[in-house]
Structure 1
């Protein structure tokens, strides 16, 4: 199931994210804060490692209040997901800290912080963020990520493109890792166990002479990873190649 960021009412969402939404003055006394509602929803999604079962009713039950009372703080589930995203982006802001090293060190930190974010909150990968939640934490995260390539010789558009390139790489590999973990939970066997089981079965029907390159490379990769895929290796290998590409671009351009 894929959620779509930006699908809630824009005015209400921005007001919720920035804390400018006025709670109704009439009606029952407010016993919660919007932040408490969002935190409860994040806790549920983290526990399930899935957004699909998340509902306003479940959040209300976890807080010991009626479902309708939640709409006082968050107008819809769509806006709740936006607030959840912006809140966990605040964790990334904290972990990114202030950049004071090389741009290579900075981009590696950006990659690692985002990887760790996905591992802590795998449900984030279920949200398509082509329209990102434009809250204070999300914008602060973007600001700190851009800071690592500020003044190194890239144009503003290239700065945005480099950060997008790194984040897209991390997101793609993290999704494979989360899906692999989900497969282990559902099947009850690890990738290594699966590989040991399927390898001799494939050997009985597979003709290496028909697919010589696939046979050679597949065997080498399988032995190295003890699986058909190693997300951690893909993460490190891809990030190294990305940094080399950025370095090559800067070398062509000369000193900043």
Structure 2
């Protein structure tokens, strides 16, 4: 396999050739704008060129192809997890909690982000800053680097999983024109027949009691995140401290 020069070390503008008519940042902004409005499938080099008012072949002076466009999009969006004007709090749990909430807000603004970033190596400047910040929150707690990486990964796995469930529900509602409650109502008679057998006591409890406490996506996200951070705290060496109550989001 032929090696390619890393996107982030390659000069944005070649030393030779025509004067560039736009920037790599402008290309990225156009791609994000299209993906936010129409989804990833709407992105093509031809479409990007049209939005930028440029020839399709001119884009290859900035990126090698659509895969690098995706890398730029991810890294730019990840930059929204860590606003430049906000310093992370000193408390590790509060820092990871705020980071998780900001990541979720970013992924809701960019519905393509969670699925695109999943399992994809991220080595851009914002991704590096994110990892440095997140690991820095756990530094000094008596953990090895592998332990810190695993715990940060667990927090982001939770965020990604929750977001993908939220987005799937939104998409199902859009596609079918029915809310979740309306979709569940379609199966009510079957569920009742199962309960009538007496073999599904927990299912019966769900139908009678579910939805009383955690009624919104925010509530469910907060509850799961707090339990996750509490579990991390319980596994830390004694000097790691305890997780305090969740702060206002």
Tell me which residue corresponds to 2:81: 92
Q: TM-score, normalised by structure 2?
A: 0.85
- Indicate the larger mover: 211-220 or 201-210: 201-210
Tell me which residue corresponds to 1:206: 194
Total equivalences in the alignment: 239
User: Quick one: distance in 1 between partners of 2:95 and 2:201?
Assistant: 41
Q: TM-score, normalised by structure 1?
A: 0.82
Tell me which residue corresponds to 1:45: 35
Matched, 1:190 2:190: no
Spell out, residue by residue over 1:113-157, the C-alpha distance to the aligned partner (whole angstroms, 9 max, x if none): 111111111101222543422111110111111222221332222
Tell me which residue corresponds to 1:31: 21
Taking CA–CA contacts closer than 8 Å with sequence separation of 6 or more, which of the two structures ends up with the larger relative contact order? Answer: 1
Tell me which residue corresponds to 1:249: 235
Unaligned runs of 5+ in 2: 241-249
Q: 1:140 to 1:19 in 2, by over 3 A?
A: farther
User: Quick one: distance in 1 between partners of 2:98 and 2:147?
Assistant: 19
Q: 1:10 to 1:45 in 2, by over 3 A?
A: farther
1:218 Cα offset (Å): 4.2
CA RMSD of superposed structures (Å): 2.5
1:1-256 equivalence runs, <5 A? 11-12=4-5, 14=6, 16-18=7-9, 20-23=11-14, 25-26=16-17, 28-48=18-38, 50-94=39-83, 97-195=86-184, 197-198=185-186, 200-202=188-190, 205-208=193-196, 209-221=198-210, 231-250=217-236, 253-255=237-239
Unaligned runs of 5+ in 1: 1-7
User: Quick one: distance in 2 between partners of 1:177 and 1:88?
Assistant: 19
